[in-house]
């Protein structure tokens, strides 16, 4: 099996699974319970919060445990907007966000909030100048993805921070789900930041929202007031401990192997660029080291995905949340690419275990599959 769909989800580390089983078996108490079993679970929860805070270089009270990226994004966007509606009603985002951001913002628009959606350039990027031009005194939230989940394009968050900071009522939310462990992000100046466990070899169903001190959020759930009252519900302690181990291991691997995965990306981009029947959509600069997006004009992407799958090679079309809708890539369309190119996109997403040998097999099989599909569809 050659797995090249790591932006959709990653394979959990064995050590992560071992941690989950151990905690589920021996520390299954409710961390809110007063007895010793609950106290042991609470200690694990507290330790995990401190470790993740240290890895992200934030304070432990700024870590809110959630069920994943979608909940983190919704809590950041809706929670921030609802808590600040007395200060303003203007939200800024971009045309290339993940659906969990796009749809959350659209929900708020229906509730009367004003929304500005910034267009991107031909590489899928917004500029700090665009953000500055869109800002006004009623702006309460700017939500911008760090690494695009389809193309790997990196947004200029450092420069955007400086713009947002000039408006005291505005919070900056960054969707860091695709960037964590692959592209560095300085948390200073970011008010809200989302990550998801299963994107860095943890388990599905766990995530984090970083909420900086002083940032107000309206809770989305009513209940027992866990997570500093911001996210009610009994914490998934086993999943949180497993996520903590996954994040620590990923950060350690990143220090050792990030250059290696960058080299693989450059090799793959060069090989794809040389093939006339393909069009590479990921820019060679200011893009993540693990994502490569390309199109095969006149070849349906879902047909190519299934053909490769029969060979034990797993890739994807657009984001995993959108791939089954068979719609053109929203990101590629926003970049101004043709409908044909947007409908025939393939995403390759690697991890630290990916190898050149795997890429060579992929390149060989994708060429065969394209030839076969074209012959059948003539």
Exposed/middle/buried for residue 227 (C-beta within 10 Å: 0-12, 13-18, 19+): buried
Average pLDDT, the chain: 94
Q: What is the structure's pLDDT at 332? A: 95
Q: What is the structure's pLDDT at 323? A: 47
Q: Which residue has the tokens 């992200």?
A: 56
- List, for residues 194-251, the tens digit of each pLDDT value: 999 999 999 999 999 999 999 999 999 988 888 887 898 989 999 999 999 999 999 9
Q: How far is CA 133 from CA 128, 141, 158, 181, in A?
A: 9, 15, 17, 32
Q: How far apart are CA 139 and CA 113, in angstroms?
A: 10
Q: Which range is least confidently modeled, 81-85, 220-224, 294-298? A: 220-224
Q: Can you say whether the dihedral through the CA atoms of 214, 115, 132, 153 is positive or negative?
A: positive
Annotate 266-330 with DSSP letters as a single string: HHHHHHHHT-TT-EE-S-SSSB-TTEEEEE-TTS-HHHHHHHHHTTTEE-BSS-TTTGGGTPPPH
Q: How far apart are CA 15 and CA 25, in angstroms?
A: 15
Statement: residue 377 has pLDDT above 80 = no
Domains of the chain: 2-8+257-377 (3.90.1150.10), 14-249 (3.40.640.10)
Q: What is the structure's pLDDT at 374? A: 81
Statement: residue 321 has pLDDT above 70 = no
Q: What is the structure's pLDDT at 326? A: 61
Q: Which range is least confidently modeled, 144-153, 171-180, 322-331, 360-369? A: 322-331
Q: What is the structure's pLDDT at 229? A: 78
Q: What is the pTM of this model?
A: 0.94
Statement: residue 163 has pLDDT above 60 = yes
Residue numbers annotated as active site: 321
Of residues 158 and 320, more confidently modeled: 158
Q: Which range is least confidently modeled, 127-131, 256-260, 372-376? A: 372-376
Annotate 35-95 with DSSP letters as a single string: SHHHHHHHHHHHHHHHHHHHHHTS-GGGEEEESSHHHHHHHHHHHHHHHHTTT--EEEEET
Query: What would the mean pLDDT of 327-339 be, rounded to a whole number?
Result: 91
* Residue 259 CB neighbour total at 10 angstroms: 10
Q: What is the structure's pLDDT at 261? A: 96
Q: What is the structure's pLDDT at 224? A: 87
Q: What is the structure's pLDDT at 328? A: 84
């Amino acid at each position: 099996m050659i797995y090249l769909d790591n932006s959709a989800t990653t394979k959990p580390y064995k050590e992560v699974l071992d941690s989950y089983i151990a905690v589920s078996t021996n520390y299954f108490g409710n961390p809110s319970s007063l007895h010793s079993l609950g106290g042991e679970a609470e200690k694990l929860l507290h330790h995990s919060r401190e470790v993740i805070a240290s890895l992200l270089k934030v304070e432990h009270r700024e870590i809110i445990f959630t069920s994943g990226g979608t909940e983190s994004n919704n809590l950041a966007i809706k929670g921030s907007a609802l808590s600040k509606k007395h200060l303003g009603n203007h939200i800024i985002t971009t045309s290339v966000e993940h659906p969990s951001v796009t749809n959350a913002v659209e929900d708020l628009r229906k509730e009367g909030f004003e929304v500005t959606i910034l267009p991107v350039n031909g590489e899928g990027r917004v500029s700090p100048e665009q953000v500055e031009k869109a800002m006004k005194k009623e702006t309460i939230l700017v939500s911008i993805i760090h690494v695009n989940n389809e193309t790997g394009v990196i947004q200029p968050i450092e420069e955007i921070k400086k713009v947002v900071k000039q408006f005291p009522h505005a919070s900056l939310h960054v969707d860091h789900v695709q960037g964590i462990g692959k592209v560095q992000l300085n948390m200073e100046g970011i008010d809200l930041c989302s990550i998801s466990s299963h994107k860095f070899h943890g388990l599905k169903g766990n995530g984090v929202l970083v909420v900086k001190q002083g940032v107000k959020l309206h809770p989305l759930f009513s209940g027992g007031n866990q997570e500093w009252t911001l996210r009610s519900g009994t914490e998934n302690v086993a999943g949180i401990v497993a996520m903590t181990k996954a994040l620590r291991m990923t950060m350690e691997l990143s220090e050792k192997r990030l250059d290696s995965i960058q080299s693989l990306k450059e090799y793959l981009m060069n090989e794809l660029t040389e093939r006339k029947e393909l069009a590479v959509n990921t820019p060679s600069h200011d893009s993540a080291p693990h994502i490569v997006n390309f199109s095969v004009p006149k070849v349906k992407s879902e047909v190519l995905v299934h053909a490769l799958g029969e060979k034990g090679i797993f890739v994807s079309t657009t984001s995993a949340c959108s791939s089954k809708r068979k719609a053109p890539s929203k990101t590629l369309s926003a970049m101004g690419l043709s409908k044909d190119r947007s409908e025939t996109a393939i995403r390759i997403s690697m991890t630290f275990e990916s190898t050149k040998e795997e890429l060579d097999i992929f390149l060989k099989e994708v060429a065969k599959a394209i030839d076969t599909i074209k012959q059948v569809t003539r």
